[in-house]
């Protein structure tokens, strides 16, 4: 799926019928803008206006309800002195790195296997992809059951005769964040596979043929030629996954509820609990601003380059 070079747009001024500028013409010329205006206004207010509102709240003394009394950087100092916030940031780092890394490696691996003239591709592809259709709440619920220390995987292994098998990650504060990684990878890796598969199908076969004539092995063709050519796909996959990692909230809530204790706290769960249950709305807003800054740092350069590319 490549973007198609834009054709010069038809501006109302460029329209062929130009004889006489009447009032009707004026309305007709303005019509496209009138149609777009409500959507754009809504985005301006509900996205950009609300972001400013949240930023402002983070500089106030708001607790249970928004109050508009200036509090300076107090909320940010409080945020960064919370041990809980450090746990959230540390968990995001662990979750983000493993989730993005494993999804990309697994997705690329499966895509390469699927690209080997596989007979049942039409059957296999949907199997890897279906988790993406499920909500994080369903995903979390399913894995919570699957990893249930008493009745799930552990019990199954015991029944199979491996009685010393122990798998209590879900209730082990040191390991719980890794169960979030498992469920997250299961949910998203199929989609990454689809992206890589599309990328592989888009590669020019001539280059590979030439390399084969030179006697390169399949492995080295992949390592030296094909994988480097997939760079744009790596970038897209990274952007999508990084953005999902920062936003992910539902999965943690459904799988571990942020626990045991605060072991699986993420910035998203931190924001929610400080804003709505711990009555520290200004600290909650400050954490939301931090999340926004993280995503902006990833997305804006990407969108900028995407939109520029189309221009030339």
Partner 1 sequence: MSATQETVSAGGARTARYFIYAALIILALVYLLPLYVMLSTSLKSLDEIRGGDMLAPPRDPSVAAWVRAWGEACIGVSCVGIKGYFWNSIKMVVPAVLISTLLGALNGYVLTKWRFPGHKLVFGMMLFACFIPFQAVLIPMARVLGTFGLSNSTAGLVLVHVIYGLGFTTLFFRNYYEAFPDELVKAAMIDGAGFFRIFWRILLPSSGPIIVVTIIYQFTNIWNDFLFGVSFSSGTSSPMTVALNNLVASSTGVKEYNVDMAAAVFAALPTLFVYVVAGRYFVRGLMAGAVKG
Q: Cβ 295 to partner 1, closest distance in Å? A: 5
H-type helices in 44-82, by residue range?
50-58, 74-80
CA distances (Å), origin 72, targets 55, 77, 82, 282? 11, 10, 18, 11
Residue in the structure block whose two tokens are 């009394």: 69
Closest CB to partner 1 among residues 79, 195: 195
d(CA 270, CA 275): 8
Closest CB to partner 1 among residues 129, 171: 129
Q: Would you say 79 and 283 are in contact if contact means Cβ atoms under 8 Å apart?
A: yes
Q: Would you say 175 and 255 are in contact if contact means Cβ atoms under 8 Å apart?
A: no
Closest CB to partner 1 among residues 11, 164: 11
Q: Would you say 237 and 190 are in contact if contact means Cβ atoms under 8 Å apart?
A: no
Closest CB to partner 1 among residues 3, 22: 3
Closest CB to partner 1 among residues 13, 164: 13
Closest CB to partner 1 among residues 16, 83: 16
d(CA 49, CA 179): 37
Query: Rounded to the nearest 5 degrees, what angle is found at the Cα of 122, between the Cα atoms of 116 and 126?
Result: 110
Closest by Cα among 233, 243, 242, 241 to 197: 233
Tokens read off for 202:
């888009």
Closest CB to partner 1 among residues 94, 157: 157
Q: Would you say 86 and 266 are in contact if contact means Cβ atoms under 8 Å apart?
A: no
d(CA 218, CA 211): 9
Q: Cβ 45 to partner 1, closest distance in Å? A: 9
Q: Cβ 135 to partner 1, closest distance in Å? A: 3
């Amino acid at each position: 799926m490549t973007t198609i070079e834009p054709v010069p747009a038809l501006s109302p001024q460029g329209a062929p019928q130009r004889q006489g500028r009447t009032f009707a013409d004026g309305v007709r010329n303005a019509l496209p803008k009138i149609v777009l205006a409500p959507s754009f206004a809504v985005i301006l207010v509900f996205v950009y206006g609300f972001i400013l509102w949240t930023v402002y709240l983070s500089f106030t003394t708001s607790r249970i309800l928004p109050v508009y009394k200036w509090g300076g950087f107090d909320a940010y100092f409080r945020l960064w002195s919370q041990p809980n916030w450090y746990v959230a940031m540390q968990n995001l780092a662990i979750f983000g790195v493993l989730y993005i890394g494993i999804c990309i490696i697994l997705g690329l691996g499966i895509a390469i296997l699927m690209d080997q003239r596989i007979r049942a591709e039409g059957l296999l592809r949907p199997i890897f992809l279906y988790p993406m259709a499920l909500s994080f709440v369903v995903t979390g619920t399913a894995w919570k059951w699957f990893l249930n220390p008493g009745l799930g995987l552990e019990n199954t292994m015991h029944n199979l005769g491996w009685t010393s098998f122990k798998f209590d990650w879900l209730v082990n504060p040191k390991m719980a964040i890794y169960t979030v990684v498992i469920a997250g990878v299961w949910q998203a890796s199929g989609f990454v596979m689809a992206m890589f598969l599309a990328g592989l199908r888009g590669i020019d076969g001539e280059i590979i043929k030439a390399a084969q004539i030179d006697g390169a092995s399949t492995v080295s063709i992949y390592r030296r030629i094909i994988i480097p050519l997939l760079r744009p796909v790596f970038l897209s996959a990274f952007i999508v996954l990084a953005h999902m990692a920062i936003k992910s909230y539902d999965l943690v809530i459904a799988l571990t509820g942020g626990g045991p204790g605060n072991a699986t706290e993420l910035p998203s769960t931190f924001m929610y609990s400080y804003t709505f249950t711990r009555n520290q709305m200004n600290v909650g807003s400050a954490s939301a601003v931090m999340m926004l800054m993280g995503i902006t740092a990833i997305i804006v350069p990407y969108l900028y380059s995407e939109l520029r590319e189309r221009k030339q």
